[in-house]
Copies of this chain bind each other. A is one copy, B any other.
């Protein structure tokens, strides 16, 4: 099923809200940081600092932003332990784990076609 576009036709009034929401979610989640977080989180429970370490190259700010976004959409559960110093753990929810299936698929795809892609790129560049 395609991420439908709003046709502007009046009879699509009902579809519009759902579609624009779908498009919004899709646009937000289809970004490399969200994908890497979901893939690395896997079925583990990780602290903020652990994620920061494992998702190479991500900045403190980007990690926070993406975790908030994922939490807002209910893909990630945030568990705060009232200790000193604070301990905050993140886990994928059921929808998050479902999405992880497709993210993993993309990781597999990347490794599977690495050769093709590298060759194509060399051909294109040269």
Contact = CB atoms under 8 A, between A and B. Distances in A.
Interface of A: 1-3, 5-6, 18, 21-22, 25-27, 29-32, 35-36, 39-40, 54, 56, 71-74, 95, 98-99, 101-102, 104-114, 116-121, 123-125
Query: In this complex, which of A30, A40, A73, A124 has the most chain B Cβ atoms within 10 angstroms of its Cβ?
Result: A30
Given A26-B107, A73-B121, A102-B106, 11 more contacts: A1-B104, A1-B108, A3-B39, A3-B107, A5-B56, A6-B56, A21-B118, A30-B106, A72-B125, A99-B106, A102-B105
Contacts of A1: 104, 107-108, 111
B120 A109 contact: no
A41 to B, nearest CB: 11
A95 B2 CA distance: 19
Given A22-B114, A74-B120, A114-B21, A99 B109 contact: yes
Contacts of A113: 95, 98-99
